Amino acid sequence: MATAQRIIPNLYRDSVSLMQFSEKIAKLPGVRQASAVMATENNIGLLVEAGLLASASPPSPNDLLIVVEAEETDAAELALDKAENTLKQKPTASLDSEARKTPPRSIEMGLAEMPGANLALISTPGDYAAAEALKALRLGLHVMLFSANVSVDDEVMLKRYAREHNLLVMGPDCGTAIINGAPLGFANVVRRGDIGIVAASGTGLQQVASLIHRYGGGITQAIGIGGHDLSARVGGISMLQGIDALAVDPGTKVIVLISKPPAPNVMKVVLDKAACSGKPVVVDFLGADPASFSGKAIHGVKTLEDASATAVALAAGKPAPNLSDTLSPTLTKLTGDLRSQLAEGQKYVRGLFSGGTLCFETLLLLGESLGEVYSNSPLQPEFKLPDVWKSQKHMAIDLGDDLFTQGRPHPMIDFRLRNERMAQEARDPEVAVILLDVVLGYGSHMDPAGELLPAITEARLIAEKAGRKIVFIGSVCGTDSDPQNLPHQEQMLREAGVHLVDSNAKSARLAAAIVNPMKA
Amino acid sequence: MRLPALSIGYAVPETSFDATVHSVFQSTVNLTLGNGSLIALLASDRTDLPHGIGLKTPDEFSFEQQGVVEKAVAVCRAEILRIAGTSLIIDLRGAARWQAHLDRVFVDMSRSESRRAWQTAFDALARHPETARAIAGVALLITQGALVDAVASLALGAEPSVNALMMSTQRNDVYSATRAARELVGLGPGLTPSGDDFLVGYLAGLWVTVGNDQQRAEFVRGFAGKIRELATSANDISRAYLVDVSQAEVSGLIAGLIRAIGEETRQDAIREAALAAMNVGKTSGADGVAGLLLGLIAWQNF
């Protein structure tokens, strides 16, 4: 007689199967008896007592121990092989389970593929977006609502539901977020660090995050909240939740808030919340006077660049830097040089922007120096362009506005409209400066400089044929980690004659200084 | 496929949780939680468990056919549980929390009605075909006081340990009872070895016969703590049941039989409850009922 044993780790079969299996194996040729038991200490002891095991082995209660007694060793080993093969066979899944191979077409199906997901990014036509967002919230997911054209009523409903269930809604019309290092929507690759951002502004968030990276800092989270969150009706629900989250986040040392000025009652609530966060908070309410809301823990700033510099300094334990509106000596000299190249009559700045907040910041800064600045989304209603397709005087337009993007991709992806407009501006004899923003990062065109270069070259030629020179000024919003290769993009733009500065604010101030001798 | 939950055992987390699939059977999926404990998804034909989620499943439903595989991630968020790689949506919303609370139950075995009910259940056990195969056969040996033909050698081998266990109980001797229990843990055939099933039933019987006796109460609490310690040497699935009973929690079928013995007067209802409790696994049911019946009389002059 020979005995043989085999341990199959972590194999769980119900008792009926085990019993049937033992009986089946015992009937194999040459086999006298077979036993399949869990390899517990007492069972091993039993088998040793019964002579089926030569000696006790260390128990492993989760393993299945098969013991076979047969006439010969070969028969015992064959029986064990058959036993193991039989036990390891699993019933095949039914045809119904083929459904799981279908690509997900709903949030629920997506969750079936990735049950650990905790955020849904929704980009559907606005009519359907709220319903999809609610589905996601009811499934326990946070929501990034990329979709625009969601009614304020729906936004309020979604955000109240989310708040009650300890969930966050980013948006509607939230194009940018960076959560736990994952870029969402249009977002840059930014170093992880200790600065948290809550922003009602896509390119505002991108500019601040990118500059923080450039200045050597990094971010914990960048939470987008959508453009209407700080209205009186919505009440800043997501902003307040964002501040709370960053306040308790152990990795966040400094909080940055970015938006246009909130509704007055909302501003108070937000600032109160920020002041109680226990952390220094840098607040850039673009267009509001920073002095009016700066306080002990609140550092009010004027520009996105200032917000970044202040946040990085505070995060490093240094005092907030002294910020200046004036150009550096180098840029001041450049101003003079560039002004001297202009022909008689060239006096206007024309900004062609893909980023709404970058355009808005430019309007503010140009307006300070130049007075009237027209736009499709002006600071004052009297400066609204009567025809958005025709420029007048000083102007900065947001080409990402719905007016321009109906049936078209966003200008960060599709440069045709901006390139056509550039040629149009070059034909205007009164245009002195063309301002451009170039936004890198995920979601943006993989080679924005390459897309712009032919248009810049054509515009330059159009002006030169008419005996003029156009000054191109720009800033690249991005980091050296972005997929577009920042140094290469900047090199291409410089070689095309674009004067690059490192922030949108500097770009606006330089443009203003060139056309306004009083500001030189 | 959406499967609504009908009942949720008290040991299932109330908040969101992450788990991995431990083992898959036709009517049950065991999930391992982050702390190493198991919870079980149970098809309609399975009883409530303290660590289980009872589901409403279609006729002839099989988890194995749904593509559930071991080590798959399972995640519960906002009371919706999903298992990666399957289309199963397990909806926990609205399901009632379930708990046996044996420490609040008292079966007065001094009542003639209880004794009669006990006898009915015992007769059902004696006639069950699996009783002789497993440790359950010990119940026949001990109560009938004579060697019964064809009782498995397993039962014969376990008889001294079970005897020692019952005598230790009568003395309220936790140490000796633990020593006897140690000889039964992991003993015998089955995915949940016979000895483990027997101990679950036995301790359940003790919980419900403590009454107002402080010494018994102290013994049961002490012994339950030791069972919890011994459970670490059991396999993952057995351990879940042993830990449950150490906290006075058992399956719905065992709880139902206890209730029948304590309260029911109709003998056919008692018999049905006993048969239902025995109809679990191959010998698990019989072993559990045997343990329960011996536990109920451990302190009695029966």
* B234 within domain boundaries: yes
Domain boundary among B34, B68, B98: B98
Q: What is the pLDDT of residue B89?
A: 85
Q: What is the pLDDT of residue A187?
A: 92
Same domain, yes or no: B162 and B25: no
A485 touches chain B (CB under 8 A): no
pLDDT reading at A485 higher than 80:
yes
Instruction: Nearest chain B residue to A22 by CA: give it.
Output: B189
Contacts of residue B85 in chain A, CB cutoff 8 Å? 100, 112-113
CA dihedral A243, A244, A248, A253 (to 10 degrees): 10
Contacts of residue A141 in chain B, CB cutoff 8 Å? 77
pTM of the model: 0.58
A100 touches chain B (CB under 8 A): yes
Q: Which residues does residue A258 pair with via DSSP β-bridges, in sequence order?
A: A199, A284
pLDDT reading at B148 higher than 60:
no
Same domain, yes or no: B72 and B118: no
Q: What is the pLDDT of residue A211?
A: 97
pLDDT band, very low/low/confident/very high, at A97 (cuts 50, 70, 90): very low
A23 touches chain B (CB under 8 A): no
Q: What is the mean pLDDT of residues A302-326?
A: 93
Domain boundary among B42, B65, B98: B98
> Of A36, A40, A97, which is closest to B233 when you measure between CB atoms?
A40
> Of B79, B84, B195, which is closest to A42 when you measure between CB atoms?
B195
Contact A12 B283 (CB under 8 A): no
Q: What is the pLDDT of residue A407?
A: 64
What digits encode the pLDDT tens for the residues A262-275? 999 999 999 999 99
pLDDT reading at A518 higher than 70:
no
B46 touches chain A (CB under 8 A): no
A16 touches chain B (CB under 8 A): yes
pLDDT reading at B163 higher than 80:
yes
Q: Is residue A111 within 8 Å of residue A139, measured between CB atoms?
A: yes
A73 touches chain B (CB under 8 A): no
Contacts of residue B184 in chain A, CB cutoff 8 Å? 42
What digits encode the pLDDT tens for the residues B32-87? 999 999 999 999 888 899 999 999 998 889 998 898 999 999 988 878 888 888 88
Instruction: Nearest chain A residue to B89 by CA: give it.
Output: A112
Q: What is the pLDDT of residue B154?
A: 76
A332 touches chain B (CB under 8 A): no
Spatial CA neighbour of A245 closest among A310, A162, A308, A183: A162
> Of A62, A115, A140, which is closest to B74 when you measure between CB atoms?
A115
> Of B1, B64, B238, which is closest to A90 when you measure between CB atoms?
B64
Q: Distance between CA A100 and CA B257 in Å, rounded? A: 41
**How far is C-alpha A4 from the geometric centre of its chain's CA atoms?**
60
Contact B67 A100 (CB under 8 A): yes
Same domain, yes or no: B124 and B94: no
Q: What is the mean pLDDT of residues A17-41?
A: 83
Element (H, E) at B233: none
Of A54-68, A313-327, B210-224, the least confident: A54-68
How crowded is residue A353: how many other Cβ atoms within 10 Å of its Cβ?
Answer: 27
Percentage with pLDDT > 90 across chain A: 63
B32 touches chain A (CB under 8 A): no
Contact A93 B66 (CB under 8 A): yes
Q: What is the pLDDT of residue B145?
A: 58
Q: What is the mean pLDDT of residues A331-349?
A: 92
ipTM: 0.77
Token reading at A169: 């809604």
B251 touches chain A (CB under 8 A): no
Contacts of B136 (CB under 8 A, 6+ apart): B125, B128, B130, B155, B194, B198, B283, B286, B287, B289, B290
Contact B16 A100 (CB under 8 A): no
Q: Distance between CA B253 and CA A195 in Å, rounded? A: 57
pLDDT band, very low/low/confident/very high, at A517 (cuts 50, 70, 90): low
Alpha-carbon distance values, A342 to A335, A433, B47, B166 (Å): 11, 9, 88, 107
Q: What is the pLDDT of residue B144?
A: 65
Q: Is residue B222 within 8 Å of residue B210, measured between CB atoms?
A: no
Min Cα–Cα distance to chain A from B89, Å: 8
Instruction: Nearest chain B residue to A99 by CA: give it.
Output: B87
Element (H, E) at B132: none
Q: Is residue A205 within 8 Å of residue A308, measured between CB atoms?
A: no
Token reading at A180: 């736990």
Min Cα–Cα distance to chain A from B86, Å: 6
Q: What is the pLDDT of residue A519?
A: 44
Average pLDDT, chain B: 90
pLDDT reading at A520 higher than 50:
no
How crowded is residue A462: how many other Cβ atoms within 10 Å of its Cβ?
Answer: 18
Q: What is the pLDDT of residue B147?
A: 53
A467 DSSP 8-state letter: T
Instruction: Nearest chain B residue to A64 by CA: give it.
Output: B191
- For residue A172, cis peptide bond before it (omega within 30 degrees of 0): yes
Contact B189 A15 (CB under 8 A): yes
Contact A100 B22 (CB under 8 A): no
Q: Is residue A40 within 8 Å of residue B193, measured between CB atoms?
A: yes
* B160 within domain boundaries: yes
* B15 within domain boundaries: yes
pLDDT band, very low/low/confident/very high, at A96 (cuts 50, 70, 90): very low
Percentage with pLDDT > 70 across chain A: 96
Same domain, yes or no: B159 and B35: no
Angle at B62 between CA B59 and CA B68, to 5 degrees: 145
Q: What is the pLDDT of residue B301?
A: 64
Q: Distance between CA B218 and CA B73 in Å, rounded? A: 41
What digits encode the pLDDT tens for the residues A370-382? 999 999 999 999 9
Q: Distance between CA A424 and CA A390 in Å, rounded? A: 9
Q: What is the mean pLDDT of residues A207-231?
A: 96
Token reading at A44: 């091993």
User: Letter for the amino acid at B29?
Assistant: V
Cβ within 8 Å of A, B 95-134:
none
Contact A94 B183 (CB under 8 A): no
Q: Distance between CA A57 and CA A80 in Å, rounded? A: 18
B89 touches chain A (CB under 8 A): yes
Domain boundary among B46, B73, B98: B98
Owning domain of residue B242: 102-297
Q: Is residue A143 within 8 Å of residue A171, measured between CB atoms?
A: yes
A111 touches chain B (CB under 8 A): yes
Instruction: Nearest chain A residue to B234 by CA: give it.
Output: A61
Instruction: Nearest chain A residue to B67 by CA: give it.
Output: A93
Same domain, yes or no: B47 and B168: no
Same domain, yes or no: B251 and B111: yes
Cβ within 8 Å of A, B 168-227:
183-193, 195
Q: What is the pLDDT of residue B302?
A: 54
Handedness of CA B113, B117, B123, B125 (dihedral sign): negative
Mutate to test the interface with B, among A10, A11, A13, A15 (most CBs of B within 10 A): A15
Domain count, chain B: 2
Contact A112 B195 (CB under 8 A): no
Mutate to test the interface with B, among A14, A66, A67, A141 (most CBs of B within 10 A): A14
pLDDT band, very low/low/confident/very high, at B109 (cuts 50, 70, 90): very high
pLDDT reading at A505 higher than 90:
yes
* B261 within domain boundaries: yes
Same domain, yes or no: B210 and B181: yes
Same domain, yes or no: B196 and B78: no
Q: What is the mean pLDDT of residues A460-465?
A: 95
Q: Distance between CA A260 and CA A189 in Å, rounded? A: 24
Of B105-109, B119-123, B156-160, the least confident: B156-160
A273 DSSP 8-state letter: H
Contacts of residue B195 in chain A, CB cutoff 8 Å? 42
Contacts of A443 (CB under 8 A, 6+ apart): A175, A185, A186, A187, A412, A413
pLDDT reading at A94 higher than 60:
no
What digits encode the pLDDT tens for the residues A284-294? 999 999 998 89
* B20 within domain boundaries: yes
Contact B235 A138 (CB under 8 A): no
B91 touches chain A (CB under 8 A): no
Mutate to test the interface with B, among A8, A40, A101, A102 (most CBs of B within 10 A): A40
Mutate to test the interface with A, among B26, B191, B243 (most CBs of A within 10 A): B191
Could you give the domains of chain A? Answer: 2-88 (3.30.1360.30), 329-519 (3.40.50.261)
A88 touches chain B (CB under 8 A): no
pLDDT reading at A353 higher than 60:
yes
A187 DSSP 8-state letter: B
B232 touches chain A (CB under 8 A): no
A33 DSSP 8-state letter: E
Same domain, yes or no: B234 and B219: yes
* B302 within domain boundaries: no
Q: Distance between CA A283 and CA A276 in Å, rounded? A: 14
* B128 within domain boundaries: yes
What digits encode the pLDDT tens for the residues A124-143? 888 889 999 999 999 899 99
Same domain, yes or no: B245 and B218: yes
Q: Which residues does residue A61 pair with via DSSP β-bridges, in sequence order?
A: none
Contacts of residue A139 in chain B, CB cutoff 8 Å? 77-78, 80
To which residue do tokens 């091993």 refer?
A44
Contacts of B19 (CB under 8 A, 6+ apart): B31, B32, B33, B34, B39, B73, B74, B75, B76
- The CATH code of the domain that includes B14 is 2.40.50
To which residue do tokens 């910041």 refer?
A361
Q: What is the pLDDT of residue A95?
A: 45
Token reading at A318: 């240094």
Alpha-carbon distance values, A420 to A76, A415, A425 (Å): 84, 9, 9
Same domain, yes or no: B60 and B127: no
Q: Is residue A36 within 8 Å of residue A21, measured between CB atoms?
A: yes
Contacts of residue A116 in chain B, CB cutoff 8 Å? 18, 73, 75, 84
N-term to C-term CA, chain A: 105
Contact A14 B85 (CB under 8 A): no
Contact B188 A114 (CB under 8 A): no
Same domain, yes or no: B197 and B83: no
